Structure 1
């Protein structure tokens, strides 16, 4: 019962935020600072993401492929940086196969965001790390009390996040976007546990176009990764929703 009450309390918090926004204006697209004409559903989507951010709620964006999830995510990061004046830094994790696509869309739609493409071989990544250390060290020598990193967004892959976890987990990421988040459907995987336990990223957006397919354990994995304090253990989650299905005749 305590677990169910926790879920209900979290849902009521979000619903209250939505009710307060009902009838109110969507975000002004000019506040997003992107050079794109967002479609109505994208403006609504970014407005929804911003409301969740303001509530401190992490989310899964499960739009189908081709709907424009990447542009919505870039618009959100731009809004955080240039409208809410967040210092960042932001982290984008994705498969290697889509890194070029992300860079292309950042360049096309939001060139004002300074994006570091943290990929390549060990030597190249080592050079990038030295550049970052030197940049921060110079600011410290100039008595900057809050030295900033030489980028707004660091874009890297799941594999490199594992290889260079000791470096990347030293950075407190203000907001993290995880593309093709179906990679996190296995809570026993090394990737899941490293990201959850070692990386400092309290604000998270998971993007996936892959349906859950009624698998409660996979659904829990994504929900728990978003909000571990709310969704508890897999056993609690499965027991609660299996009982709900049984009582409604859906099981």
Structure 2
């Protein structure tokens, strides 16, 4: 909390738009407790680009909430079609190999199953 993740994320989106002509839309998933802050910050910008369904980037705030690949949130969010994904967390994650795999697979869902088998040897 208070690390400036919201403003940094909006800055990344602005950078992508201005420098690389990637105007989104962008999807930001955040817990209900932070939605008001996100709404206030994004309201300062033109939000028409954030209302489309074909996502260029998904930015997931409080990413420690998806450290289990069996959770319904992880499964639901994995179903979104996104070109790129960014995970944000200010909370230390007590990482087990399973949690690390869940996060890795979430940001790289096309990871070959052979890599998962190699990774599973450490789980």
Range class of TM-score, shorter chain = 0.7 to 0.9
Check whether the contact 2:67–2:103 (CA below 8 A) recurs between aligned residues.
yes
Q: For residues 17 and 100 of structure 2, what CA distance do their matches in structure 1 show?
A: 31
The residue correspondences of 1:57-96 to structure 2 (distance < 5 A) are 65-96=1-32
Instruction: Show the counterpart of 2:98.
Output: 217
Q: For residues 102 and 214 of structure 1, what CA distance do their matches in structure 2 show?
A: 27
Report deviation, 1:101. Answer: 0.8
- SS in structure 2 at match of 1:230: coil
Are residue 191 (structure 1) and residue 73 (structure 2) matched?
yes
Alpha carbon RMSD of aligned pairs, Å? 2.2
Are residue 153 (structure 1) and residue 50 (structure 2) matched?
yes
Question: Which structure's CA Rg is the greater one?
Answer: 1
Instruction: Show the counterpart of 2:36.
Output: 100
Check whether the contact 2:61–2:87 (CA below 8 A) recurs between aligned residues.
yes
Which structure shows the bigger proportion of residues in helix conformation?
A: 1
Structure 2: state its 5+ residue gaps. Answer: none
The residue correspondences of 1:1-251 to structure 2 (distance < 5 A) are 65-107=1-43, 111=44, 113-115=45-47, 151-154=48-51, 171-196=53-78, 198-230=79-111, 232=113, 234-239=116-121, 241=122
Structure 1: state its 5+ residue gaps. Answer: 1-64, 116-150, 155-167, 243-251
Check whether the contact 1:212–1:219 (CA below 8 A) recurs between aligned residues.
no
Q: For residues 107 and 60 of structure 2, what CA distance do their matches in structure 1 show?
A: 11
